Copies of this chain bind each other. A is one copy, B any other.
Amino acid sequence: MSNKRVYLFAEGNASMKDLLGGKGANLAEMSNIGLPVPPGFTITTEVCNEYYADGATMPPGLMDEVRAALATVEKDLRKGLGDPKNPLLVSVRSGAKFSMPGMMDTILNLGLNPQTIEGLIAQSGNERFVYDANRRFIMMFSDVVLGVDKHKFEVIFDNHKKQKGYKQDGDLTAEDLKRICAEFLALVQVETGQGFPADPWRQLELAIEAVFRSWHNDRAIVYRRQERIADDIGTAVNVQAMVFGNLGDDCGTGVAFTRDPSTGEDELYGEFLMNAQGEDVVAGVRTPIAISELKEQNPGIYDEFHAIGRRLEEHYKDMMDLEFTIERNRLFMLQCRVGKRTGPAAVRIAVEMVEQGLITKEEAIQRVTASHLDQLLHPRIDETYVADRQISALAKGLAASPGAAVGKAVFDSETAEKLGESGEKVVLVRDETNPDDVGGMLASQGILTARGGKTSHAAVVARGFGIPCVAGCEALEVDLHERCFRVGPVTVREGDWISIDGSTGEVYNVQLALIAPDIGGQFGTLMSWCDEYRRLRVRTNADNPRDAQQAIDFGCEGIGLCRTEHMFFEDDRLPIVQEMILTKSEAMREAALKKLLAVQQSDFEAIFEVMDGRPVTVRLIDPPLHEFLPSYDELLREVTELRMAVATLGGEALKHLLDEKERMMKTVESMREANPMLGLRGVRLSIVFPGIVVMQTRAILQAAATLIKHGKRVLPEIMIPLVAHVNELRTVQGQLEEVARQIVAEQGVDIPYLFGTMIEIPRAALTAEQIAESAQFFSFGTNDLTQTTFGFSRDDAEGKFLHRYVEQKILPVNPFETIDIDGVGQLMRIAVEEGKSANPTLKCGICGEHGGDPESIYFCHDLGLDYVSCSPFRVPIARLASAQAALRGKVAVSVDK
């Protein structure tokens, strides 16, 4: 800890955010580059921690330092705190390193008391203004410092207006306000048992302490948890001479961005009010005026402000968010910070600032975040529309697949398909989806489910197809019988309009306006810059030509994960798959496999065609076979009912049906598993049922051969899932190479292909040295690797305890969203190091969902992976994050949170 507790604005600068907070550091910076900032000083964030370390008591000696600093301000302005002749008023504001808007407390006009009121009236010649300032001060101070409920003051104020028949605050006279102040002071006496502190120094000390206290108020704590801000960074306290926008018509106040934060357009964007204090702009008592009007009303001030905006942009090299006050036709800057912006604005500003020579391409890349791009890539809800109409969400589920969708609620897939085909916009609402629903999902604008997590069928399929999805919205009661869903007292019927936001999880029972994605020229420019800097290659997870094409449009360089079993779920294949599983006859199984061979081969041909020589990693069958069979619960219900029916009614037809269902139930039961995630799936299936490997390998390589014969380029990479021991890989490799030799002989062409494995089981990572001897590539399946490394079943954890772990900070983040570097990351590091030492040409990539998460991509870059693979709509984000990863450490960036 440094010894200096208090910094005059002249002593600080923008780089001192840790110590002075964001507001304090920027006030200092503006002061020092010569902008008109009312003088003041900042008490450091370390003092806040000191305050709490001492059991919430004011550090001894602090007020001496405050006094010394204020003396400089007083001297500067030739005013004095509490000086009855020439009174100085100050504001006391919190300001942490990261902006926490509205979370902590502020006190304005501090320094008023009976003596200084008189002095100020004499000096300003405006009695009404002084009493107005005083009533604001008493209320804020009493609320924040003395703990008197603000509402009680408002009652007095409103009663007074009513009594006098006033409509507006402005109608109150000086006399009225004086009276109100008197009543306020009486209220304080009654509520606190003592008088309002009249000594401005006492006022100041209490206000400073109140700011420290506000660091730990409930809403600040909740906000920090939400925004992942540490509790121990503390807040600074800014004490600054007051300037007044409400001294008369040559005064005013406003807020503005140097560029449009919504579109990024390069012109001042903001609002102001003449003869008003800052809080009036925010409170909406009077309607603020667009900043462009200021040019008409006061071109001098406008030009000065415009020039300051330019100057600050050049200085900070970013779009800025500014607060200003005009006091008697003099402009004062009260705040500046890097401005928040929408995704489209972020991209436009970054690209235009490069063109304007303000920043470099490297800096531009660092200015855009994943969520900025995500907004850009999907339709999004028009927030102005929602705000204007004060629409609130009906319910909130999991943000399972990004983007917003609007459509009529439908409750089954057939209806979705029927209406969808006739051009209607529909949103499919289900308890949960299953493979039968895929047709209906594709025909829908969006998908909403009451159950299931981010890896539920609905979520996975929706992300795959880029369809917005809100999953696991537990407040929903879906009533298929009545064809409606209920949320508390609200009922939404089939055909009613709903809107969902798959980026936030929000569900609305109205038809909202959407803003279409705009992947314009600036987006392309930014992406091309990213490609210049990134080292990681970017692939996509795609199981069909449509997704593959989408990903290519977004710039992918190959397929990192093509899941073959999704092909099995389609309507025309499922019966064949079931036949293959259920038959006890080898011949029937062979026949079923032969049918599947034909369809899989044509699937692969179509994908290879689209990918045009780019590598395509095909994962052999992975899920447990019972996923392809009817649900056991359903069968048990049916069998129980049939048994009762047969017992009471008899009848040959029923008996026959019962027999059939019982047989099916027995089969499904024999395949049931206690923990299917850790059961007979992945490479284990390929070992127990070698026929499937043979069929899939044949389908891949025959498809490749067909394309090669047509002069096309192909590069299949065959990937074995869930390997735990090198011998599993070797066993499958033997089968596979045998098939490959046969096909090369049959087809008479050489087929280039790679053979590799997923690393998604801890043991595979730990024994990577052995495994790398049999593999040409590793692809980290970080979903399963996270499940096994933590011993978390994602399906169970996310619903049952993971949210609590994150809330209670037991885990810093959800490890299914961002790679857990200490655990999962350590296994990845072991695997890469040992794998590459055993096999220096080993290619390493990642195909878990983390492949589209920026933090995880940074880690993958540092680890030296060759590529990341993610869903098509994350490809641009992965290109961006890969470039950012390559630039990290090279470029110093200051990003305001």
Q: For the complex, is A678 an interface residue (Cβ under 8 Å from B)?
A: yes
Q: For the complex, is A822 an interface residue (Cβ under 8 Å from B)?
A: yes
The segment from A111-119, A482-490, A804-812 that touches chain B is: A804-812
Q: For the complex, is A524 an interface residue (Cβ under 8 Å from B)?
A: no
Given A637-B640, A811-B725, A823-B766, also A674-B731 (CB < 8 A) = no
Interface string of A776-803 (1 = CB under 8 A from B): 0000000010011111110111001100
- The residues of B that contact A826 with a CB separation of less than 8 Å are 766-767
Interface string of A694-719 (1 = CB under 8 A from B): 00000000000000000000000000
Could you tell me the distance in whole angstroms from the C-beta of A793 to the nearest C-beta in chain B? 4
Pair B680/A677 contact, Cβ less than 8 Å: no
- Of the residues B645, B766, B800, contact of A789 by C-beta under 8 Å: B766
What does DSSP make chain A's interface, helix, strand, loop or mixed? helix
In the bound assembly, the distance between CA atoms of A725 and B636 in angstroms comes to: 40
Interface string of A234-265 (1 = CB under 8 A from B): 00000000000000000000000000000000
- The residues of B that contact A811 with a CB separation of less than 8 Å are 725, 727
Could you tell me the distance in whole angstroms from the C-beta of A466 to the nearest C-beta in chain B? 26
Q: For the complex, is A763 an interface residue (Cβ under 8 Å from B)?
A: yes
Q: Which among A640, A727, A767, A796 has the highest number of chain B CB atoms within 10 Å?
A: A796
Could you tell me the distance in whole angstroms from the C-beta of A824 to the nearest C-beta in chain B? 8
- Within 646-697 of A, Cβ neighbours of B (below 8 Å) are at 648, 673-680, 684, 687-688
- Within 727-768 of A, Cβ neighbours of B (below 8 Å) are at 727-728, 731, 760-763, 766-767
Given A636-B636, A788-B788, A789-B766, also A800-B679 (CB < 8 A) = yes
Instruction: Look across to chain B and name the residue whose beta carbon is closest to the beta carbon of A724.
Output: B790
- The residues of B that contact A645 with a CB separation of less than 8 Å are 644
- Within 124-168 of A, Cβ neighbours of B (below 8 Å) are at none
In the bound assembly, the distance between CA atoms of A721 and B231 in angstroms comes to: 30
- Within 821-843 of A, Cβ neighbours of B (below 8 Å) are at 822-824, 826-827
In the bound assembly, the distance between CA atoms of A766 and B791 in angstroms comes to: 13
Pair A796/B679 contact, Cβ less than 8 Å: yes
Pair A675/B793 contact, Cβ less than 8 Å: yes
Pair B791/A784 contact, Cβ less than 8 Å: yes
Q: For the complex, is A820 an interface residue (Cβ under 8 Å from B)?
A: yes
In the bound assembly, the distance between CA atoms of A275 and B808 in angstroms comes to: 88
In the bound assembly, the distance between CA atoms of A787 and B791 in angstroms comes to: 9
Pair B793/A674 contact, Cβ less than 8 Å: yes
- Of the residues B724, B787, B789, contact of A823 by C-beta under 8 Å: B724
- The residues of B that contact A586 with a CB separation of less than 8 Å are none
Q: For the complex, is A722 an interface residue (Cβ under 8 Å from B)?
A: yes
In the bound assembly, the distance between CA atoms of A809 and B295 in angstroms comes to: 84
Pair A677/B674 contact, Cβ less than 8 Å: yes
In the bound assembly, the distance between CA atoms of A492 and B826 in angstroms comes to: 56
In the bound assembly, the distance between CA atoms of A636 and B640 in angstroms comes to: 9
Pair B792/A678 contact, Cβ less than 8 Å: yes
Q: Which among A636, A722, A804 has the highest number of chain B CB atoms within 10 Å?
A: A636
Pair A678/B793 contact, Cβ less than 8 Å: yes
- The residues of B that contact A674 with a CB separation of less than 8 Å are 676-677, 793, 795-796
Pair A675/B763 contact, Cβ less than 8 Å: no
Pair A801/B680 contact, Cβ less than 8 Å: yes
Q: For the complex, is A633 an interface residue (Cβ under 8 Å from B)?
A: yes
- The residues of B that contact A788 with a CB separation of less than 8 Å are 762, 788-789, 791
- Of the residues B636, B673, B731, contact of A637 by C-beta under 8 Å: B636
Pair B687/A787 contact, Cβ less than 8 Å: no
In the bound assembly, the distance between CA atoms of A790 and B796 in angstroms comes to: 20
- The residues of B that contact A680 with a CB separation of less than 8 Å are 796-797, 800-801
Q: For the complex, is A641 an interface residue (Cβ under 8 Å from B)?
A: yes
In the bound assembly, the distance between CA atoms of A63 and B684 in angstroms comes to: 48
In the bound assembly, the distance between CA atoms of A108 and B810 in angstroms comes to: 76
In the bound assembly, the distance between CA atoms of A808 and B731 in angstroms comes to: 9
Known: A674-B676, A678-B796. 12 other contacts (CB 8 A): A648-B648, A673-B795, A678-B792, A678-B797, A679-B800, A680-B796, A724-B792, A725-B790, A767-B822, A767-B826, A770-B822, A788-B791
Can you identify 29 A-B contacts, CB atoms within 8 angstroms? Answer: A633-B633, A636-B636, A636-B637, A637-B640, A673-B793, A674-B676, A674-B793, A675-B675, A675-B793, A675-B796, A676-B793, A676-B796, A677-B678, A680-B801, A684-B801, A688-B800, A722-B791, A724-B791, A727-B810, A727-B811, A760-B791, A761-B790, A761-B791, A762-B789, A766-B822, A766-B823, A766-B826, A767-B823, A788-B789
